Structure formats: C-alpha cells, structure tokens
C-alpha cells in the first residue's frame, strides 16, 4: 500500500535541495560553519579569603567561591583543558565606601594573581576592574552625598586597581563599571606606570540586565540601594552600543565585549561587523548559566546539547571569545 503511494509521487523539479548536505554525519561535519574550541573560552573564578575553602553558590550549581589555594587548583584544571584564560573576581575581607582592598598589594585578587602566575605562568590571567564587590554600598563607583555614582572621581581609583593588578602580574585588565572615559584613564595610568604593553579588555557594551542576579550572590556585589541604570545601558538600545564601542576603540581598548550574550546576540553581530579589527568577547553571564543548569537539573533539557548549542550561537553571532561558567564542562565535552 505504502510502496504504491510512494511510487506514484511525482518527481519534483527541485534543483536545490539543502537536505543533500545534511544526509550523513560526515557531510554535516564538512559543511559546518562554526566550530567551538577550548581556546574560545575564558573561565571566571571567584576568590575569597581563607584556606581550602569552596563555598558553593546556590544559584550557580558547579561554581563556588574559592580560597587562593583552591583557585590555583581550579586554574590548573582550566589550563589542562587547554582553556587559555581565567577572569578573576575578588571577595574582600572588609568593605568600605571606597573599597580599599581593591588596590591593596595583598588584596585577595592580587594574592590570587601571584599564586596562579607562579604555578601556571602560561595561563592568561584577566582581572575584573570595578568597585562594586569592594564597596560597602555595592555601587560601581564613588558616591556623592545623594547616593549618585560619580564618574570622573571614580577613574583614579580604577587606575589604582588596574596598576595593582598589573604589579601582581595580571596579563589583561577588564574594566566592567561602565564609567565614561574608563578605558582612556586606564590606558594613561597603565602607561605612566610602565605597563604600556598590558592589554585592556573593555566591557564596552554592558547592559543593565536582570541576568546578573546569581553573580551578585557569587561576588556579593549587589547595590545596597538603587540600581545600575545610570551607567549600564538600557536593554532597549542597539544603536547606542555602536557609540559605546566606538568610544572605547578611540580610547585604546584592545578587546571589546558585549554583556550579557544571549539576549544580545544582535549586538554581538553588529559589533563584529562594525569593528572587524578588534577581538570581540561576549560574556555568557550568571543568569544565562543558571537558566540552563536549572532546566538540566529538572531533566527538562539535555545539558550538554543545550550548552553546546548556546555557546555555538554566541560564536556564530560573531564573538571570538566567550566568558562562560560552562567553560570547563564545554572543554571536556569537546575532547
């Protein structure tokens, strides 16, 4: 019966049949446009004071706040998986209005940089340069008497932070606070301190996003009042992203970044097209990680397939580098 129906199906005059190239795994592999590689990944690490500490972060299963010794072990795993870089965030022992530990020679991030570089000189150590994890008010800059985030007054502190990270041996500094002029300020401050060779990875395009929620538990950096909407970008704005990126290019940024990644794949693509000469990073942020982990934990998604599809989409959109909490898992799946 079935056979009869099939033989009666008239041949269509279809010269183009995309299915021809999807017929076998070999063919699909030959025409695959985007390939993930461990060299695409940057792995974030949260460093905290103490010894042998791994404080799991409830909203980010698999991620923990690590003491320096444990951070070195995590960095070793990263290097073994052929991932080229880690991105360090610090949890200070004390917080104050300025965030003094942020630029202290023995601050938590400075200790971690030295320990990691001593053990793994080849691993690229990138550091977050911002105030929010260190200030008692949780804002990304100094505040005036009305609680407003000051711009120009914050820049010298960012310079002190970046130079102290460079002194400790950081390979790249990544300012994330969205202060105007932060890249120019850091470039100038690093240059006069003898670090003209130290690259700046600018969080050029960073949106005021709901997807940073779990990170703020991880890094204990939630603002104690208000929000970040006076400096981070409005999620509704795309053209403004090009303006932000152009400024950072002018100011001397060596890398551009879009953050978050998933709700902003169109922005990644626009930056890739408008600034083809600069390496482009995308930050697959904590909330994006938490969504997939939660769905996978419930058995609603196949974790490996969903993660790899997600990371592939970020690369396909135009990112050269993906900062992701999935880095270790993804690199081991790629093996």
User: How far apart are the C-alpha atoms of 90 and 48, rounded to whole Å?
Assistant: 6
User: How far apart are the C-alpha atoms of 326 and 311, rounded to whole Å?
Assistant: 9
Minimum distance from residue 104 beta carbon to ligand PBG (Å): 17
117 is catalytic: no
Calculate the CA 35 to chain-centre distance: 19
Q: Which residue has the tokens 């401050």?
A: 189
Window of 76-84, 124-132, 246-254, 292-300 that interacts with ligand PBG by CB under 6 A: 124-132
Calculate the CA 18 to chain-centre distance: 36
Q: Is residue 215 part of the contact set for ligand PBG (CB under 6 A)? A: yes
Q: What is the dihedral of CA 214, 217, 223, 224, to 10 degrees?
A: 130
Q: What is the dihedral of CA 87, 91, 93, 99, to 10 degrees?
A: 80
User: How far apart are the C-alpha atoms of 42 and 111, rounded to whole Å?
Assistant: 20
Window of 108-116, 186-194, 212-220, 242-250 that interacts with ligand PBG by CB under 6 A: 212-220
Q: Is residue 241 part of the contact set for ligand PBG (CB under 6 A)? A: no
**Mapping DSSP to helix (H, G, I), strand (E, B) and coil, where does residue 258 land?**
strand
Minimum distance from residue 212 beta carbon to ligand PBG (Å): 4
Q: Is residue 135 part of the contact set for ligand PBG (CB under 6 A)? A: no
Q: Is residue 285 part of the contact set for ligand PBG (CB under 6 A)? A: yes
Catalytic residue among 95, 117, 259, 293: 259
Minimum distance from residue 178 beta carbon to ligand PBG (Å): 8
Window of 78-86, 93-101, 208-216, 301-309 that interacts with ligand PBG by CB under 6 A: 208-216
Q: Is residue 149 part of the contact set for ligand PBG (CB under 6 A)? A: no
Residues 308/330, Cβ–Cβ less than 8 Å: yes
From candidates 70, 128, 244, 251, binder to ligand PBG by CB under 6 A: 128
Report the candidate in 170, 167, 159 with the shortest Cα–Cα distance to residue 125. 170
From candidates 59, 127, 176, 270, binder to ligand PBG by CB under 6 A: 176
User: How far apart are the C-alpha atoms of 136 and 282, rounded to whole Å?
Assistant: 29
Window of 18-26, 91-99, 128-136, 243-251 that interacts with ligand PBG by CB under 6 A: 128-136
| Nearer residue to ligand PBG within complex by CB, 195 or 203 | 203
| Nearer residue to ligand PBG within complex by CB, 31 or 327 | 327
User: How far apart are the C-alpha atoms of 317 and 265, rounded to whole Å?
Assistant: 6
Q: Is residue 286 part of the contact set for ligand PBG (CB under 6 A)? A: yes
User: How far apart are the C-alpha atoms of 190 and 167, rounded to whole Å?
Assistant: 10
259 is catalytic: yes
Q: What is the DSSP letter of 45?
A: E
Q: Is residue 251 part of the contact set for ligand PBG (CB under 6 A)? A: no
Q: Is residue 132 part of the contact set for ligand PBG (CB under 6 A)? A: yes
Q: Is 226 left (phi over 0), alpha (psi -120 to 50) or beta?
A: left
Residues in contact with ligand PBG by the rule CB under 6 A? 128, 130, 132, 176, 212, 215-216, 221, 228, 285-286
Catalytic center residues: 206, 259
């Amino acid at each position: 019966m079935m056979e009869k129906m099939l033989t009666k199906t008239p041949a269509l005059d279809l010269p183009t049949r995309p299915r021809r190239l999807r017929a076998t795994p070999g063919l699909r592999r030959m025409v695959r446009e985007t390939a993930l590689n461990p060299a695409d990944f940057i792995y974030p690490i949260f460093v905290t004071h103490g010894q042998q500490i791994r404080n799991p972060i409830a909203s980010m299963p698999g991620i923990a706040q690590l003491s320096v010794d444990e951070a070195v072990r995590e960095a070793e795993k990263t290097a073994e998986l052929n991932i080229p870089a880690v991105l360090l965030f610090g949890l200070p022992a004390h917080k104050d209005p300025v965030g003094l530990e942020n630029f202290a020679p023995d601050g938590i991030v400075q200790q971690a940089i030295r320990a990691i570089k001593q053990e793994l000189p080849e691993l690229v150590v990138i550091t977050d340069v911002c105030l929010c994890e260190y200030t008692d008010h949780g804002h990304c800059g100094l505040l005036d008497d009305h609680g407003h985030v000051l711009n120009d007054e914050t820049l010298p502190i960012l310079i002190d932070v970046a130079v102290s990270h460079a002194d400790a041996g950081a390979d790249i500094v990544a300012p994330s606070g969205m202060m105007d002029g932060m890249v120019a300020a850091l470039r100038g401050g690093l240059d006069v301190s003898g670090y003209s060779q130290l690259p700046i990875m600018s969080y050029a395009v960073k949106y005021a996003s709901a997807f940073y929620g779990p990170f703020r538990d991880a890094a204990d950096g939630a603002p104690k009042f208000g929000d970040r909407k006076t400096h981070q970008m409005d999620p509704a704005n795309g053209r403004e992203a090009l303006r932000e990126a152009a400024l950072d290019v002018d100011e001397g940024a060596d890398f551009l970044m879009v953050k978050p990644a998933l709700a902003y794949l169109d922005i990644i693509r626009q930056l890739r097209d408008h600034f083809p000469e600069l390496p482009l990073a995308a930050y697959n942020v904590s909330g994006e990680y938490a969504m997939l982990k939660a769905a996978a934990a419930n058995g609603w998604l196949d974790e490996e397939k969903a993660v790899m599809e997600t990371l592939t989409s970020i690369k396909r959109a135009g990112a050269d580098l993906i900062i992701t909490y999935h880095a270790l898992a993804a690199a081991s799946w790629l093996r």
